[in-house]
Amino acid sequence: MGRDYYAVLEINRSATVADINRYRRLALVSHPLASPAAAADASDSFSRLAEAYDVLSNPQTKAIYDKFGEEGLKGGVPKDTEAGTWTSGYTYHGNPNKTFSQFFGGDNPFADGAEMNTAHGGLWGGRKKKQGAPIERDLFLDLEDLFHGCAKKIKISRKVMNEDGHTSSIRDTILTVNVKPGWTEGTKIIFSQQGDQEPNSVPADIVFVVRQKSHPRFERQNNDLIYTVHTSLKKALTGFSVNVGNTRWQILNIPIMIPNYRKVVTGEGMANCQLSTFKRKPDPSV
């Protein structure tokens, strides 16, 4: 009776691609490096798992095996032609480490931070996955957005692992940045692990860095708002009023009396985002 590759992978014949990829877990357990004390037995199990995965993960060899069994797979079967020819039989290349390396993207999944349970002589934990460097993107905001606060929705495209745990596809994701009143240039908003997904690594963080757009009327100095009025000498000496709409779009009547006159309007500047409550403490001036 031929070998039952489905039984080797501990799955049934109606198994999906994701089920066939159980090879991942079984291969880690049976890998000779996972159990040095029983390397001989582990090597035999490791080889059987690799061959079973090699056959069932390939749609063509899987179809032949499902119809004709191991004998037909390896001995060849009639082609669907009238010439009476047969297919060449399947032969496993005999290198389970090659199959393992192709699946995991490396020869040793226990490198780079593996932990071994010396009390039991086996693998205690899996491979310690590395995370890619943070991906930084500029987030340009109007002064009004930083004054009032707002919510910005940003669409990104990223690689996401499919159900089989081995392939990936591109999907769109919406990230929402809740802008707090008083945020300053250089504020960073971190979205943890929202970068591309890879089989053997932790997705990178995506970091948005606040960049404040220039404003046509106000200049920001820390949390103060500066509005400069250019007027004639006559008006400056005689005095007059100027209407200044601040970022709340309110009208402030500010009398002008002498050149270089400075008027401080208390409580109308940017919020102090370091406070637990966003009190509009800093002052704008003209």
Q: At what angle do helices 39-56 and 23-30 cross, to 10 degrees?
A: 160
Report the CATH number at residue 86.
Answer: 1.10.287.110
Report the CATH number at residue 146.
Answer: 2.60.260.20
> Is-contact 31 46, C-beta < 8 A?
yes
Does residue 104 share a domain with residue 17? Answer: yes
User: Using a CB cutoff of 8 Å and minimum separation of 24, what contacts does 32-35 make?
Assistant: 33/108, 33/110, 33/123, 34/110, 34/122, 34/123, 35/121, 35/122, 35/123
Q: What is the pLDDT of residue 259?
A: 65
Q: What is the pLDDT of residue 174?
A: 92
Does residue 206 share a domain with residue 223? Answer: no
Residue found under tokens 């500066």: 226
How does pLDDT run along the chain (286 residues), one tens digit per residue?
Answer: 578 999 999 999 988 888 888 888 888 888 777 666 556 667 888 899 999 999 998 888 998 999 888 888 888 877 665 555 667 788 888 888 888 887 776 555 555 444 434 334 444 344 567 888 899 999 999 999 998 899 999 999 998 887 766 677 899 999 999 999 989 999 999 999 899 888 778 889 999 999 999 998 888 988 888 888 777 777 767 767 776 665 554 555 666 666 677 777 777 788 877 633 333 333 444 4
Q: What is the pLDDT of residue 86?
A: 65
Last residue of a domain, one of 180, 212, 244: 212
Does residue 268 share a domain with residue 199? Answer: no
Amino acid at 99: T
Measured in degrees and rounded to the nearest 5, phi and psi for residue 152 equal: -115, 125
Q: What is the pLDDT of residue 247?
A: 52
Last residue of a domain, one of 184, 212, 240: 212
Does residue 205 share a domain with residue 178? Answer: yes
pTM listed for this prediction: 0.54
Does residue 222 share a domain with residue 163? Answer: no
> Is-contact 279 271, C-beta < 8 A?
yes
Domain that holds residue 54: 5-123
Measured in degrees and rounded to the nearest 5, phi and psi for residue 261 equal: -65, 140
Does residue 54 share a domain with residue 138? Answer: no
Does residue 117 share a domain with residue 91? Answer: yes
CA distance 97 to 107: 7
Last residue of a domain, one of 187, 212, 237: 212
Does residue 35 share a domain with residue 95? Answer: yes
Does residue 140 share a domain with residue 102? Answer: no
Number of structural domains found in the chain: 3
Does residue 206 share a domain with residue 108? Answer: no
Amino acid at 91: T
Does residue 105 share a domain with residue 54? Answer: yes
- Give the list of residues 6+ apart from residue 25 with CB closer than 8 angstroms, or none: none
Does residue 119 share a domain with residue 36? Answer: yes
Q: What is the pLDDT of residue 224?
A: 85
What are the C-alpha distances in Å from 64 to residues 9, 20, 78, 267?
Answer: 18, 16, 11, 79
